[in-house]
Amino acid sequence: MTNILLIDDDKDFSNFLREELLAHGYSIEYADSAKSGLDRVPNDSLDVVLLDYLMPGMTGLEFLKVLKEERIETPVIMMTRQGTSEATILGAFDYIVKWIGHRRIYRASRTDHPQDTRLETRQ
């Protein structure tokens, strides 16, 4: 089972996405801010982080910078309402546009993703 950490302050979107991913058999942890999500990332059981781009306190880009500084290699998929490739420059695995991209989140979060073995379930 793929273990996903969803970090987003948008409650409606988070609830929608959690229900969709749970229905597809994913295990979901949730944090409503980047700061609270940072405490959960070093967890070896996480396979991927779904991270909102714009949140109060700490942005998704600031979160990525911390991961990079601490050499944490958990794959991150940035979610945004406006497209940005800056996230991938800072080390995000991918980024998607929220609401439009919920199916892409599902595909990118799959453990059998053909383009990257980092998302394989850890043994």
pTM of the model: 0.72
- Is residue 2 within 8 Å of residue 14, measured between CB atoms? no
Contact 68, 90 (CB under 8 A): yes
* pLDDT tens for each residue of the chain, 123 residues long: 889 999 999 898 899 889 989 999 999 999 999 999 998 888 768 999 999 988 999 998 899 899 989 988 888 888 876 655 666 666 666 666 665 555 566 566 665 544 444 444 333
Q: Which of 65, 67, 14 is nearest to 38 (CA)?
A: 67
For residue 54, give every residue at least 6 positions away whose Cβ sits within 8 Å of its Cβ, in sequence order, or none. 60, 80, 81
Give all domains of the chain, ordered by start, each with its CATH number. Answer: 3-112 (3.40.50.2300)
